[in-house]
A and B are shown apart, each in its own frame.
Chain A
Amino acid sequence: MQAVGNLTNKLFHKQLRTGSLALQVGPYTYSIQSDLPIVAEGIRALYRDFVLVDPQNFIDYKISIRHGGLLQRLRRQTQFYFDGTRPFAPIPIGQAYAFLEWGMNWCVSLHANEYLKLHAAVVSSERGAIIMPGVPGSGKSTLCAALGLRGWRILSDEHAMLIPGTVNVVPLCRPVSLKNESIEVIQQFSAEAILGPTSQKTHKGRVAHMKADLHADSHNASPLPAAWMIFPRFCPNERQQVTLRRRSDSFILAAYHSFNYSLLCESGFESMEKLINSVACFDLVYHDLNWAVHTVNQLVGHPDNE
Chain B
Amino acid sequence: MQWCIKTMGRFYDPNEDTVIYYDINSGDTHLLSDFAAYVITQFQEGPLTAEELTIKVSPCLETLDFSDLEKTIQDILEELSALNILTRV
Residues of A within 8 A of B (CB): 246-249, 251-252, 255, 261-262, 265-266, 269-270, 272-273, 276-277
How many residue pairs bridge A and B at CB < 8 Å?
A: 41
Q: Is B65 an interface residue (CB 8 A)?
A: no
Report the separation of the CA atoms of residues A266 and B14 in the bound assembly, to the nearest whole angstrom.
Answer: 18
Of A246, A261, A266, which is within 8 A of B10 by CB?
Answer: A266
User: Which residues from chain B sit less than 8 Å from chain A, CB to CB?
Assistant: 10, 12, 14, 16, 18-20, 22, 24, 27, 29, 31
Given known contacts A247-B14, A273-B12, what 15 new A-B pairs fall within 8 Å (CB)? Answer: A246-B16, A248-B16, A249-B18, A249-B31, A251-B12, A251-B29, A251-B31, A252-B20, A265-B27, A266-B10, A266-B22, A269-B10, A269-B12, A269-B29, A276-B12
Q: Dominant SS at the A interface?
A: helix
Q: Are B14 and A262 in contact, with the CB atoms below 8 A?
A: no
CB of A266 within 8 A of CB of B24, answer yes
Query: Is B10 a contact partner of A248 (Cβ separation < 8 A)?
Result: no
The answer on a CB contact under 8 Å between A248 and B14 is yes
A44 to B12, CA, bound (A): 47
Contacts of A246 in B (CB 8 A): 14, 16, 18
Complex formed: what's the CA distance from A70 to B48 in Å? 71
Pick the contact of B20 from A248, A262, A265, A266 — CB < 8 Å?
A248
- Given A248-B19, A248-B20, A269-B22, A277 and B14 touching (CB < 8 A)? yes
Q: Which residue of A lies closest to B15 (CB)?
A: A247
For the complex formed, measure the closest distance between the CB of B37 and the CB atoms of chain A, giving whole angstroms.
10
Residues in chain B near residue A247, CB distance under 8 A: 14, 16
Bound complex: CA of A251 vs CA of B14, how far in Å? 10
Q: Which residues of B contact A266 (CB under 8 A)?
A: 10, 22, 24
* Interface secondary structure of B, over-half rule: strand
Contact indicator B12/A248 (Cβ below 8 Å): yes
Interface centre among A251, A262, A269 (most CB of B within 10 A): A269
Closest residue on chain A to residue B19 by CB atoms:
A248
Complex CA–CA separation, A248 to B19 (angstroms): 6
Bound complex: CA of A34 vs CA of B24, how far in Å? 46
Residues of A within 8 A of B12 (CB): 248, 251, 269, 272-273, 276-277
Please, how many angstroms separate the alpha-carbon atoms of A91 and B31 in the complex?
Answer: 41
- A135 to chain B: closest CB distance in Å? 19
With A and B bound together, what is the CA distance between A272 and B10 in angstroms?
12
List the 3 closest pairs (A to B, CB-CB), nearest first. Answer: A247-B14, A269-B22, A248-B18
Q: Tell me whether B31 and A252 are in contact (CB under 8 A).
A: yes
- A247 to B, closest residue via Cβ: B14
With a cutoff of 8 Å between Cβ atoms, the chain A residues found around residue B18 in the complex are 246, 248-249
Bound state CA distance, A247 and B34, in angstroms? 14
What residues on B are CB-neighbors of A269 within 8 Å?
10, 12, 22, 29
State the Cβ distance, B9 to closest chain A Cβ, in Å. 9
Instruction: Assess A251 versus B20: contact at CB under 8 Å? Given A246-B14, A266-B10, A276-B12.
Output: yes
Q: Which of B22, B24, B31 touches A248 (beta carbons < 8 Å)?
A: B31
Q: How far is the CA of A246 from the CA of B31 in the complex (A)?
A: 12
B19 CB contacts on chain A under 8 angstroms: 248
> Which residues of chain B have C-beta atoms less than 8 A from A251's C-beta?
12, 14, 20, 29, 31
